[in-house]
Amino acid sequence: MGPEGDTRMQNPLNTPPALATPALQGATTTPQSSADARPGIVVSWARHLDEVRAAQRLRFDVFAGEMGARLNTPLAGHDIDLFDNYCEHLLVRDQASGQVIGTYRVLTPVQAKRVGSTYSDTEFDLTRLRGLRERMVELGRSCVHPEHRHGGVIMALWGALAEFMVRNQLDTMIGCASVPMLHEGMVSGNAAASIWRQLQATHLAPIEYHVRPRLPLPIEQLDSSLEVDPPALIKGYLRLGAKVLGAPAWDPDFNSADLPMLMRIADLPSRYRKHFLGA
């Protein structure tokens, strides 16, 4: 859902299959504006490789430039991994300049089968989610240009995602939500450990959906007593009814701790259901 780590694999394909053949019957592959978009921004699904490249450049600027992520990429200045060629890419553009200022990528159940897993499978053991996979999408690589980090861009992205889910009869979203290891000028996992402690008490999913990190953040060695707010994106997910599925994984390439999160359309609070779905 939030920034994710690099898989250190290069994709030999030149054209994304998800763009050449839509992953789902009825999937949006033409630009659509959204009622959630602020004036001056346009929401669309990428149709061509050059549009995907624009999203990958934004991701590189945010993840490598701002967060200091170490990206092993086949194309300089772009964040590219194995999963990109199998995903649908959602874009928000500045209407005046045409610049991509926000993006998500979406891995559908059909495409997850083609690639062999989700990205989240590389960070967590998702065995307990096997019963959800037929109607579960993975959200990832979310980012917004630093000059456009207002609620309008995120709300526009979420509105388009909700429409996509309902149109394709999907009901569950998962992803890795990142907490930067850099806190108050120091690289430390204390902030992530403290956020996990808070959310474990208030937003933990039922035990039947718990997952386990493959490379756990060493919680027991960290100070989890800090009073620190979760990142804005995680707080937004929680307002939408999201649950945390377990303890965070450590992603050394992205210099972050990743929390596994799950959102279900059925759990959307009524005010957001009316806003996004009109129901």
**20 token code pair:** 């050449």
Judge whether residue 82 has pLDDT over 60: yes
More reliable by pLDDT, 126 or 65: 126
Predicted local distance difference test score (pLDDT) of residue 6 = 33
pLDDT of residue 72: 87
Residue type, 163: E
Domains of the chain: 17-277 (3.40.630.30)
**203-222: pLDDT as tens digits:** 999 999 999 999 999 999 99
Give the start-end residues of each E strand in 14-170.
41-45, 88-94, 100-107, 124-125, 136-144
Neighbours of 276 (CB within 10 A): 23
Residue 184 has pLDDT above 50, yes or no: yes
Q: Phi first, then psi: give them for residue 167, nearest 5 degrees.
A: -60, -35
Helix 151-167, helix 270-277: angle, nearest 10: 80
Q: What is the pLDDT of residues 6-46, one digit of tens each?
A: 332 233 333 344 443 333 433 333 334 444 445 699 999 99
How high does pLDDT run on average in the chain?
86
Round to the nearest angstrom and report the end-to-end CA distance of the chain.
Answer: 24
Does residue 3 register a pLDDT over 90?
A: no
Report which of residues 34 and 195 the model is more confident about: 195
Radius of gyration of the chain (CA): 18
Cα–Cα distances in angstroms (integers) from residue 165 to residues 26, 38, 144, 240, 252, in the given order: 11, 22, 21, 14, 32
The reported pLDDT for the residue numbered 7 is 30
pLDDT value, residue 38: 57
Asked whether the predicted pLDDT for residue 258 surpasses 50, the reply is yes
Residues 193-197, mean pLDDT to the nearest whole number: 97
* Predicted pLDDT of residue 27: 39
Residue 233 has pLDDT above 50, yes or no: yes
> Which DSSP helix (H) or strand (E) runs through 55?
helix 49-60
- Listed range (76-90, 95-109, 141-155, 248-262) with the worst mean pLDDT: 141-155
Higher-confidence residue of 18 and 202: namely: 202
Residue range 46-59, pLDDT digits in tens: 999 999 999 999 99
What pLDDT, in 10s, does the model give residues 147-173? 988 778 999 999 999 999 999 999 999
Taking residues 135-143, what's their average pLDDT?
A: 96
Q: What is the mean pLDDT of residues 181-185?
A: 75
pLDDT at position 180, please?
87
Q: Do residues 156 and 102 touch, judged by C-beta distance below 8 A?
A: yes
What is the chain's length?
279
Average pLDDT over residues 122-149: 95
